[in-house]
Structure 1
Amino acid sequence: MAEGKKRSQAANRNPAVRTRNWRPEDIPALVELQKRVYSSAYEEGMYGARVFELELAAFPEGQFLAELDGKIVGYTATLIVNLERDTYYTFVEITGNGTFTTHNPAGDTLYGADMAVDPEYRGMGVAPKLYAERKRLLRRFNLRRMIAGGRLPGYRSHAGKLTPEQYVERVVAGELQDPTLTPQLRVGYHVKEIYMDYSKDLESLNYATLIEYINPAYKPERHRISSAPVTNPVRKIRICAAQYFMRPIQSLDEFVRQVDFYVDTANEYHCHFLVFPELFTAQLFLILAPETDDREAMRRLAGFTESYIEIFKQRAKETGIFIIGGSHPIIAPDGIRNVAHLFTPDGAVFTQDKLHITPSERKYYNMIPGEGLRVFDTGMARIGIQICYDVEFPELARMQTFAGMETLFVPFSTEHRKAYLRVRFSAQARSIENWLYTVLAGNVGNLPQVKSFLINYGQSAILTPSDHPFPNEAVLSEAEPNTETVVISEVDLSDLQRQREYGSVRPLRDRRIDMYEIHSKIDIERIKVY
């Protein structure tokens, strides 16, 4: 998290405030203090006792707390790093996701990971004493400088009227006061950069400053230890998108053999993710009685749910691939829902309903809209799923992006080129608007005996934003239309992070929230699936 919480401008040093290093027995009180300070951001596991234990174990000399009358009223967490260069690092990258595994005693930079003061004790000189401990660390370890990612909680009330850069300039000039940045400037920090998405911080609209304090007592001739610097990680995943051929079959075993072709191909090419199309299980209509009408056929198809789940659970476990099993009908009390399933290598199953239903789906199948919007953190990538028509509603992708989504999987099923292009162009727009990779997987081929699936038009593809690091057409890879094949490509997630911050255009940063804003009426679920 970005460091710092506000204190009164009139704060003076309180001689009754004492500072010392953390001890293991302090950790329960530190956890409770952090809950009070960061109540809107607290998540068990990210800010729990285990994180404090790891920080203390990594660098016990760098963790300080402040006490007043025996009560812990503030704390600071630091580590030593040796950065490759002054470039963009997220909090997760520079701190090892808060675990301080990146602590390097041979480094020359003290990184201020966190500074928190109990809201009831702000303005009593707690923060200055904790900053003084940081400065003593600089002298003790002969470190060149101290840096931190600073929050900007005051910016929200000026957003739309001022850019983040203009806001910071006015705070630095003393024309505006920020609850966090102003005290940091008073203790000697100066602002080097302004970052977006350094950490999730609603009060600061996810903006943060990179602030620096130069140690005037640094003696470079004594700092002769060399070490490898922290480098920006390259986060790549390999994706396989099935272009599923709807051919006549006579049994469930034939269906499984066709599924295995795609799974085996993805496994052979060492893919991390495999996505199937929307309602590709409709191929099983052909093993039902031929006189079955569409609505009844869809209900009977839902009867294969147990087999469908078992087939894909087994293959995800055997191959270690995250499989988005297209979508499959699920019977609900008031109709049928179209539901995407995510199968994980450890055998878990997660779902995402289709939220927008087309007129033909209502007419032929009595489909009803689903509920809930999710982002799945797989450990390798944070992904979202939108089924076909859903991708034509830009609000969904924007809300998922705010919840951390990096790659959007879109299983689709379209019967002709115009319908396909609606999905394709919408998916491309979602990539550009939100700096995402968007993955399309569609059905091809014909099912002559099934009235509502007579023909299929599809072209699976992996789409990118449109800027210098990405392909000229913003298409990483695409299949030949209407053939049985797969699309396989590697995507670099670190490119997304860099371009969101430094791209030619920055649509996430440049939103006019003084004129418009998306407000979700539901909580976007963020689910860890590893």
Structure 2
Amino acid sequence: MEKIQKKLIIRNADVTDLNQINAMVSRSYKDESLAYKGTMVASQITHFKQGCFVAEIDGKIVGYCATLRISGEKCLKEHSWREITGGGFGSTHDSKGEYLYGYEVCVDPEYRKFKIGQRFYNERKKLCRFLRLKGIVFAGRMPNLKKRIKEVGSVENYIKAVKEKKIRDNVLNFQLRNGFEVIGYMKDYIPGDLESMGYACHMMWKNPEFEDENITNSSKKTYKPSIDEIGSVRVATVQYKQRKVKSIEEFEAMVTYYVDVCSEYKCDFVLFPELFTLQLLSLEPEELPHHIAIEKMAEYTPKLTEFFKFLALKFNINIIAGSHPVKNSMGEMNNVSFICLRDGTIHEQAKIHPTPNEQYWWNIKGGKELKAIQTDCGPIGVLICFDSEFPELSRYLVDQGIKILFVPFLTDERKGYCRVRYCSQARAVENELYVVMSGSVGNLPNVPNIDIHYSQSCILTPCDFPFARDGIAAEATPNVEMVSFADLRIDTLVESRNTGTVQLLKNRRHDLYSVEWHGKS
């Protein structure tokens, strides 16, 4: 074990800690199936940063603790870990829940003599007192159960023997010493936990400072929303007109104009259409074969990313730069959206599902990663055109905490447009989030596959009382070059998710189904 030079601190986790947390979790679990996958930890922090903690020694993260807020109706009845945590994403967090629910405490094996678990429990209790909640609930493992079940005869007898100190169980003993009471046990809590035979001990700590008053009013007074739940976000969608340009400087001048306009309107985000940069193919003296044209466009990638980064910094606006053909490290062509943030950061999101035309004419391959993008206005997601027609993708992003989804698209006629439009509206309703769409209009002769366009860019909302009557916050005139704006109230969206007419996300059956990402993320 390394000697500690400075001090051990417990602090709230941040998405910048992800690499260290994931590495530490992997070291801590002997069974890799119990470790977190991909974006789960980022999602847990995004949903309730106030309840996620890390232990840090000399800059090294040696422990992680995850908590969410939930109603007694859900956490006091029988449930599974998957059901109560939204499959490990923490997406079941309820900002008005009257209990904290602990679903992870993980400590680096080399640092388990520093009472880090005890420190995490203390932080949870402090948070519970601060929020004036009823208490803390969780379901604890019983790692010696399989070894002793024949001796004691039943799970109930095992718990009784541990309480009477006839059997030693380090996990259960620790929780009892911390003032938690046994309120029962649950079967199939984590089926893969073979040592506990899938069972878990259902436990509760009651907040001694809780005053038995109307819990809803108490929550309203004390709940402090995270930064991405406060106020409004102003977004703009550019319905961009395709026409022949004489130079790349002419293209840059038009894009700069739109970014400048959106900045003058004090927008936080501006969205451009899918593959709108293919306008640069009009610079060629004659029509290029498909495979040569797409290779030619990929050569512009470094110049264009620097250009959009410069605009984001200069005009203090987050730019979703439509999409552009990019050759990846494997030599394959992807359709990639560059998200250029106003702090100078650049993120990429590849199109997961290329259309048949993209695959046939341009040999575009599908991307393999899908992540929420952290911005100064909270996490966002980007799905390029056809990807919006696959509901699993948007649900996976919502599990990661997004509240705004950006959909750059490219359609040549109304039927194709309607597929993207109707599916995007469905994504807004079923996920209770905002969806921003941007497409191109106009004509581009001598550029194959994008010579004609049809678009009606729009900004969509859920369909409930706090939002626009028809679920449309703003909408462009079809096939006319223009910019549409809308102020999106994030706090209203959060309120609707918790108290709206139907509350779709809260009513998901995590015990029956889930969205699981099988690839790298």
- CA distance 1:154–1:437, change in 2 (3 Å): farther
- CA distance 1:231–1:402, change in 2 (3 Å): closer
- Distance of 1:426 and 1:484 partners within structure 2: 23
- Distance of 1:462 and 1:179 partners within structure 2: 47
Which residue pairs with 1:206 in the alignment? none
Task: Return the offset for 1:393.
Answer: 0.6
Which residue pairs with 1:184 in the alignment? 205
Task: Return the offset for 1:408.
Answer: 0.6
1:244 aligns with 2:240: yes
Matched-pair contact (CA < 8 Å) for 2:179–2:205: no
Alignment RMSD: 4.5
Mapping 1:60-71, distance limit 5 Å: none
Which residue pairs with 1:48 in the alignment? 54
Q: Which amino acid aligns with 1:287?
A: L
SS at 1:477 equivalent? strand
1:288-326 deviation digits (Å, cap 9, x = unpaired): 131312221121111111211111010011112111111
- CA distance 1:49–1:71, change in 2 (3 Å): closer
SS at 1:452 equivalent? coil
Q: Which amino acid aligns with 2:296?
A: R
Q: 1:457 aligns with which of 448, 454, 458?
A: 454
1:415-447 deviation digits (Å, cap 9, x = unpaired): 011110100000000011111100001001111
Which residue pairs with 2:69 in the alignment? none
Identical counterparts, % of pairs: 31
Task: Return the offset for 1:71.
Answer: 5.3
Task: Return the offset for 1:510.
Answer: 2.3
- Distance of 1:240 and 1:153 partners within structure 2: 51
Q: Which amino acid aligns with 1:367?
A: I
- Distance of 2:11 and 2:402 partners within structure 1: 33
SS at 2:380 equivalent? strand
- Distance of 1:69 and 1:302 partners within structure 2: 54
Mapping 1:359-438, distance limit 5 Å: 359-438=356-435
1:274 aligns with 2:318: no
Q: Which amino acid aligns with 2:54?
A: G
Which residue pairs with 1:217 in the alignment? none
Which residue pairs with 2:171 in the alignment? 122
Matched-pair contact (CA < 8 Å) for 1:295–1:364: yes
Q: 109-118 vs 420-429, which deviates more?
A: 109-118
Q: Which runs of 5+ in 2 are unaligned?
A: 1-5, 14-19, 60-111, 143-168, 191-198
Q: 1:256 aligns with which of 240, 243, 252?
A: 252
- CA distance 1:430–1:51, change in 2 (3 Å): farther
- CA distance 1:379–1:153, change in 2 (3 Å): farther
1:73-118 deviation digits (Å, cap 9, x = unpaired): 624446999xxxxxxxxx8xx99xxxxxxx7xxxx94897999999
Matched-pair contact (CA < 8 Å) for 1:74–1:116: no
Matched-pair contact (CA < 8 Å) for 1:80–1:110: no
Q: Which amino acid aligns with 1:74?
A: Q
1:42-71 deviation digits (Å, cap 9, x = unpaired): 679963346999xxxxxxxxxxxxxx9995
Task: Return the offset for 1:256.
Answer: 0.5
Which residue pairs with 2:145 in the alignment? none
Which residue pairs with 1:74 in the alignment? 118
Mapping 1:72-221, distance limit 5 Å: 74-75=118-119, 76-77=121-122, 109=132, 121-124=170-173, 127=176, 129=178, 157=189, 179-180=201-202, 182-184=203-205
- Distance of 1:509 and 1:380 partners within structure 2: 23
Q: TM-score, length-normalised on structure 1?
A: 0.65
SS at 1:455 equivalent? coil
- Distance of 1:441 and 1:252 partners within structure 2: 22
Q: Which amino acid aligns with 1:393?
A: F
Matched-pair contact (CA < 8 Å) for 1:79–1:112: no
Q: Which amino acid aligns with 2:518?
A: K
- Distance of 2:255 and 2:237 partners within structure 1: 13
- CA distance 1:155–1:277, change in 2 (3 Å): farther
Q: Which amino acid aligns with 1:365?
A: W
- CA distance 1:508–1:310, change in 2 (3 Å): same
Q: 40-49 vs 409-418, which deviates more?
A: 40-49
1:315 aligns with 2:298: no
SS at 1:470 equivalent? coil
- Distance of 1:446 and 1:30 partners within structure 2: 52
- CA distance 1:284–1:380, change in 2 (3 Å): same
SS at 2:407 equivalent? strand
Q: Which amino acid aligns with 1:266?
A: C
Which residue pairs with 1:345 in the alignment? 342
Q: 358-367 vs 383-392, which deviates more?
A: 358-367
- Distance of 2:282 and 2:222 partners within structure 1: 60
Q: Which amino acid aligns with 1:121?
A: N
Q: Which amino acid aligns with 1:394?
A: P
- Distance of 2:390 and 2:470 partners within structure 1: 23
- Distance of 1:487 and 1:154 partners within structure 2: 52
SS at 1:469 equivalent? coil
1:272-301 deviation digits (Å, cap 9, x = unpaired): 111110000011011013131222112111
- CA distance 1:193–1:241, change in 2 (3 Å): farther
SS at 2:439 equivalent? strand
- Distance of 1:520 and 1:152 partners within structure 2: 33
- CA distance 1:188–1:128, change in 2 (3 Å): farther
Task: Return the offset for 1:353.
Answer: 0.5
- Distance of 1:369 and 1:178 partners within structure 2: 41
- Distance of 1:295 and 1:428 partners within structure 2: 34
Q: Which runs of 5+ in 1 are unaligned?
A: 1-23, 54-67, 82-90, 96-102, 133-150, 159-176, 196-209, 213-227, 525-530
1:265 aligns with 2:265: no
Matched-pair contact (CA < 8 Å) for 1:128–1:187: no
Matched-pair contact (CA < 8 Å) for 1:354–1:370: yes
Q: How many residues are matched?
A: 400
- Distance of 1:183 and 1:126 partners within structure 2: 10
Q: Which amino acid aligns with 1:122?
A: V
Which residue pairs with 2:499 in the alignment? 502
SS at 1:326 equivalent? coil
- CA distance 1:298–1:26, change in 2 (3 Å): closer
- Distance of 1:156 and 1:25 partners within structure 2: 40
Q: Which amino acid aligns with 1:123?
A: L
Matched-pair contact (CA < 8 Å) for 1:236–1:491: yes
